[in-house]
Amino acid sequence: MALRKENILLVDDDVNILELLQRHLQSMDYHTYKAVSVKEALFILKDTFIDLLITDIQMPEVDGLQLLKFTNEHYPKMPKLMVTGYPSKSGTLEVIKSGAIDYLTKPFTKEELREAVTKAFEKSKVSKIEPGQKTPKVLYGDMVGTSKPFHKVITIIDRVKDNKATVLITGESGTGKELVARAIHYSGKYSRAPFIAVNCGAIPENLQEAELFGYLKGAFTGANENRNGFFQAAQGGTLFLDEIGSASLAVQTKLLRALQEKEITRIGSRKVEKVDLRIIAATNADLLEDIKNNSFREDLYYRLTVVEILVPPLRERKNDIPLLVEKFLRKYGVEYKDRLLRISPEAILILQRYNWPGNIRELENIIQRAVIMCDGMIEVKDLPDFLKFKIDFPDTELLPLREMEKEYIKRVLLHTQGNKTKAAEILKIDRKTLRDKLT
């Protein structure tokens, strides 16, 4: 059985250089694909397994460095060679940083090309990922981090954990506001008392008062027994009211009285009950804007913000990403694969580059998926494509349909290495029609 020829993709806007490279490499028994632009190269990469990329730097619209960065993340195991007619020390460093194994300077001989290609294949076989350096951990409750924004949060937690001052936790969705609330409760002297978490946004508006404060039998249709509310359940401990901005105005009025007087009244009762607990509220909404819109009480806002904790978004604490990833790897590695998993430094760099609109919750979901997809170590290939480098092609002018058709036919011909019979089969037309459409 014949050995498979390695597939080499050649990218250069100079057709003469492409022909020269193809001629030399085919004489070395390699199979070649040609592209005169980065856009054409991406079409070939999408449909064809490529063993080696050889690309020029200087090209119109999108240059070879962007192609290198793209393939370095979307095809990380594929070796890359850069061809340049303008060598410089700074340019060489940029090429290597962009993921190329080596570069060739124009003009080059056939032997220089052979040596560079051989070296590229050899290096790709022996290259290994060095394990990343571990960052010292700082644990607080179920939270982990080393960044300044993280330290700012835990400093405030230390101040409030042993008293019952009302706390408002603000921050974007997915930043871990409930973890902060739990850290306040479980790291302080009231940790043995109940911690009751209530999502105000998940309770229908007409049931919020009953769920929070309780009710007596017969107070309303369906009230078949006396029932305690969340306030009674959290007696002596902490009541965490998440999405506080979703509370109705009627409930806000009763919350204000509970905070001011330390007492509540069940629905259907005239008896006042004293309560002794700590209120921690959280929101990702702008309560000051809600006050302007008359959907949140200003006096309640100031009662809630005795102490305010702003939980920073993940994009402002990217130094904490390796530690958060380690935490999620431990959690999901054991759960899904019964062992601890690792992640490559290259994958960590991609995670740290992303801005995380979904914050820690989004990061956890990504790691959960990567654990399922990986084989022992999470590598760049196991991360979703939207995290990786993207090439933004400049807007091109709108062309007539005939010109667009001609461009597509040229693309198919590139894919078939100029074989018109194969191209005609793909396009489902005869050779004469193909020839006519190219004129």
pLDDT tens digits, residue range 253-290?
Answer: 999 999 999 999 999 998 999 999 999 999 999 999 99
Kindly state the average pLDDT of the residues 29-48. Answer: 87
* Cβ–Cβ under 8 Å, residues 243 and 203: no
Pairwise CA distance, residues 67 & 156, whole Å: 47
Strands 263-265 and 272-274: antiparallel
Higher pLDDT, 94 or 197: 197
The C-alpha atoms of residue 387 and residue 354 are separated, in whole angstroms, by 6
Are 210 and 255 in contact, with CB atoms under 8 Å apart? Answer: no
What lies within 8 Å, CB to CB, of 157 at 6+ separation is 140, 180, 183, 184, 187, 309
Q: Collapsing DSSP states into helix, strand and coil, what is residue 129? A: coil
What pLDDT is recorded for position 364?
96
Q: Which amino acid is at 93?
A: L
User: How far apart, in Å, do the first and last CA atoms of the chain sit?
Assistant: 42
pLDDT by residue (tens digit) across 104-114?
887 888 998 99
Structure tokens at 358: 């979904």
% of the chain surpassing 70 pLDDT: 91
Spatial CA neighbour of 39 closest among 388, 384, 392: 392
Region of residue 93 (phi > 0: left; psi between -120 and 50: alpha; otherwise: beta)? alpha
378-392: average pLDDT: 88
Please, which pLDDT band fits residue 133 given cuts at 50, 70 and 90? very low
Question: Is the confidence at residue 89, as pLDDT, over 50?
Answer: no
Whole-number pLDDT of residue 397: 66
Taking the model in full, what pTM does it have?
0.68
For 205, other C-beta atoms within 10 Å of its C-beta total: 13
User: The tokens of 222 are what?
Assistant: 């369906």
What is the chain's Cα-based Rg?
32
310, pLDDT greater than 80: yes
Three-state secondary-structure class, residue 131: coil
pLDDT in tens, 219-254: 888 888 999 999 999 999 999 999 999 999 999 999
Judged by DSSP in three states, 192 sits in coil
pLDDT at 412: 84
**In this model, does residue 177 exceed pLDDT 60?**
yes
Query: pLDDT band for position 131 (50/70/90)?
Result: very low
Closest CA to 166 of 241, 230, 233, 234: 241
* Ramachandran quadrant class, 99 (left: phi over 0; alpha: psi -120 to 50; beta: rest): left
Q: Are 56 and 80 in contact (CB under 8 A)?
A: no
Position 92 pLDDT exceeds 70:
no
* Structural tokens at position 271: 């008896």
Name the token pair of 128. 């290994």
CA distance 193 to 190: 6
In this predicted structure, the answer to whether residue 128 has a pLDDT above a threshold of 60 is no
Distances (CA, A) of 352 to 57, 216, 326: 27, 53, 14
| Alpha carbon distance 68, 54 (integer Å) | 10
Inter-residue contact 121 to 142 (CB < 8 Å): no
**Per-residue confidence at 127, pLDDT binned at 50, 70, 90?**
very low
CA dist 52 and 85 (Å) reads 20
Ordered by where they begin, the domains of the chain are 7-126 (3.40.50.2300), 148-314 (3.40.50.300), 401-438 (1.10.10)
pLDDT band at 309 (very low <50, low <70, confident <90, very high): very high
Whether the Cβ atoms of residue 313 and residue 349 lie closer than 8 Å to each other: no
Cα 153 to its chain centre, rounded Å, is 23
Q: What is the mean pLDDT of residues 71-97?
A: 71
**Any idea what DSSP says for residue 357?**
T
Residue 272's beta-bridge partner residues?
265
Return mean pLDDT, the chain.
87
Angle, vertex CA 321, rays to CA 319 and CA 323, nearest 5: 100
Q: Kindly tell me if the per-residue pLDDT of 386 is higher than 80.
A: yes
The dihedral built from the CA positions of residue 400, 402, 403 and 404, taken in this order, carries a sign that is positive
What is the structure's pLDDT at 379?
92
